[in-house]
Each structure stands twice: as structure tokens, then as C-alpha cells.
Structure 1
Amino acid sequence: MAMEVESVSCECCGLEEECTGEYIAGVRGYFGGRWLCGLCSEAVKYEAGKCKGAPDVEEAVRAHMAICRTLKMSGGPAGRVADGMRQMLRTASWKKAAGASSSPRGHHRASPPLSVGL
């Protein structure tokens, strides 16, 4: 007997997963009607557990969703890597341009052509 699976998208990070309806209902029941992927749900549980007194799952969900929104707006991890590479290339080209402009012109010798024996 095959169990039917549904595709569901995390309301925090957008990750799509295929899960059974029963599992989806259990997760939504725990998180106030919201579907959270495994990683986000663990982060929320951890944050809720840090509260003194009774854990406030709803507040932890809201806080985690805000963090995820901020990360999405910044392009996520891939966007931050691309921004870092772009900045590194700008810095390298600026240093190269600054170094070339400070060296006297006409004092460079052309490199002799390479000969490759075949």
C-alpha cells in the first residue's frame, strides 16, 4: 500500500519537500498552521527552548521568518558569495590600475616569445 505524498514549501526559507499529508498536518499543528522544513523547524525549536519559562514557539517562528526574509533580500548565501567575489575583483583591479599608473612608462621590456619544441 503506497502512501500519498504532497509537495510543500517551507514558509521560512522556501525549500520544497515531499511529505505525507499526516506528517504535514503534524508539523503545521506544532507551528501554528505554518509549514517549516526540517532545518527551519529545528532552528525554531532551539530558539523557543532558550526562552525562560514556557517556550514561545510562535515568537520563535516569527523571529526565524524575519531572519530568513533578510537573507532572501540579500540574495542568500549564493548572493553573498557573488558580492564578495565582485568586491574582491574591484579591489584587485583598483590595485592593478594604481600600480600601473605609478610605474614609469617606457621602462618595460617586452617579453621574448616562448618557443615550444614539438
Structure 2
Amino acid sequence: MEEETVVAVMSCECCGLEEECTGEYIGGVRAYFGGRWLCGLCSEAVKYEAGKSSPRAPDVEGAVRAHMAFCRMLKRGGPAERVAEGMCQMLRTASGKQRRRASSSSGSSSPSPSPSPRAATEHHRAPSTLSLQFI
């Protein structure tokens, strides 16, 4: 008869991701990270950061604290919320530029006899690109 492996659902103490793990794996992760359970992605990030400090004596505890602080900062909003905020900012920036263009062009009611040097080359410029900034 086969022995049944007990599986538990664990929630990462850094990012909140849930994983199904065996008791043996959970014990190993907790032993390495000072009693905390970290998902695979966070544990790799912490190991990398700890190894950067000193390959001979990695500062795992300091790396865990730093990574937990980083994850708390990111948890302010989920990924979808951050993308939506970035898109709203992009639209606000674009609409602000359009309003400024419209107000500067409507200021003059009579057409000018000769275009300014800037206006003559304006149509040759590439359209401006907008970038998303995640905060």
C-alpha cells in the first residue's frame, strides 16, 4: 500500500502567492528563511540578494526583510490596478498636451501671413511616444 503524501496550501509571507507543498518542503523552506515560508519566486529573489552581499556568509535575514518591504510596497494595488493607474496617467498626460495645443492655436484668430520656422518643420516630426510608469 502506498503512503499518502500530505499536501498543504501555503501563502507566501512576502507576496501572498499560494502554493501547494509537502510538509517536508515547507520545513526546509522555513528552516532556510528563519521560520518564514516564501514562495519559489520570492525565495529565489532572496537567495540572489543574500548571495550578492557575501557568497561565503549570505545575509539571508537581511535579504528577507528587504524583499518583504519591497513586496509590501508593491501590494498597495494589484497588478491590474497598477496597469490601470499607468494608463490613466498616460491619458492625462496626452490630454493635457492636446489642451495646451488647442489653447495655443485658438489664441490667434487671424491667420498669419507666413508660417513660423517651427510650424514649417512641425509636420516632419515623429509622433511623440508615451510610456507607462509603474509606481
Q: TM-score, normalised on structure 1? A: 0.76
CA shift for structure 1 position 77? 3.7
- Corresponding residue for residue 110 of structure 1: none
2:74 matches 1:71: yes
Residue of structure 1 in register with 2:17 after alignment: 15
- The letter of the residue matching 2:12 is C
TM superposition shift of 1:5: 0.8
- SS of equivalent to 1:50: helix
TM-score, length of structure 2 as denominator length: 0.67
Q: SS at 2:58's partner residue? A: coil
Q: 1:99, 1:60 → 2: CA distance?
A: 49
* Corresponding residue of 1:61: 64
Of 74, 87, 90, which residue of structure 1 is paired with 2:89? Answer: 87
State the identity as a percent: 75
Deviation at 1:80, TM superposition (A): 2.7
When structure 1 is superposed on structure 2, of 87-96 and 41-50 the one drifting more is 87-96
Give secondary structure in 2 for the equivalent of 1:83.
helix
Q: Measure how far apart 1:76 and its partner are.
A: 4.5
